[in-house]
Structure 1
Amino acid sequence: MAEEAVVAQKGPYQVELTEGKPYFYCRCGRSQNQPFCDGSHKDTGIEPMRFTVDHTGTFNICGCKTTDDEPFCDGSHLML
């Protein structure tokens, strides 16, 4: 059975991402390299999410791990 994700931070991480480059979004909240996976999910039953973006730029990546638009922030942290 999967463990619960932990809130890495209540607000989003603003990060520069490059079009077409693969990224791995931390879904467990345990990575020391937020918002990206560092392998800390081992034995949690929670897997990272591979994603790319369609243009280079600044993106708000979810830090609270409750977004419905993974990996992007949808404002869900405002309800925590």
Structure 2
Amino acid sequence: MESPKRASDTPYAVELEAGKDYYWCSCGLSNNQPFCDGSHKGTGFNPVKHHAETSGTAYLCGCKATQKAPLCDGSHKQT
């Protein structure tokens, strides 16, 4: 698999808890978007660990084109 699958045309608004680690799906195959469920096995992609510094809403990339993984940087508007 050369490119990730576009899982969504918009970011995922998720509630994160300060001090916890989250694993963002970078391949786009997870059935638990935007989080990894292990579907990347054999694809060459790996989940991206995100440590939440603060609690609150975060916008995680759904198009998988962000340059600020796992956070949305607006790339879905260009691709």
TM-score (norm 2): 0.96
User: Counterpart of 1:76?
Assistant: 75
Aligned counterparts of 2:22 and 2:59: Cα–Cα separation in 1:
14
Contact 1:12 1:62 in 2 (8 A): yes
Q: Which runs of 5+ in 2 are unaligned?
A: none
Question: Quick check: 1:27–1:49 contact (8 Å CA) kept in 2?
Answer: yes
Which deviates further from its counterpart, 2-11 or 47-56?
A: 2-11
The DSSP-based 3-state class of the residue aligned with 2:58 is strand
Per the alignment, residue 54 of structure 2 pairs with 55
2-structure distance, mates of 1:16, 1:75: 19
Compute the RMSD of aligned alpha carbons. 0.8
Q: Where does the alignment leave 5 or more consecutive residues of structure 1 unmatched?
A: none
TM-score, structure 1 as length reference: 0.95
- Taking only the aligned residue pairs, the percentage that are identical comes to 51
Report the alpha carbon displacement of residue 51 of structure 1 after superposing the two structures with TM. 1.2
Q: Distance in 2 between matches of 1:76 and 1:4?
A: 15
Deviating 4+ runs (over 4 angstroms): none
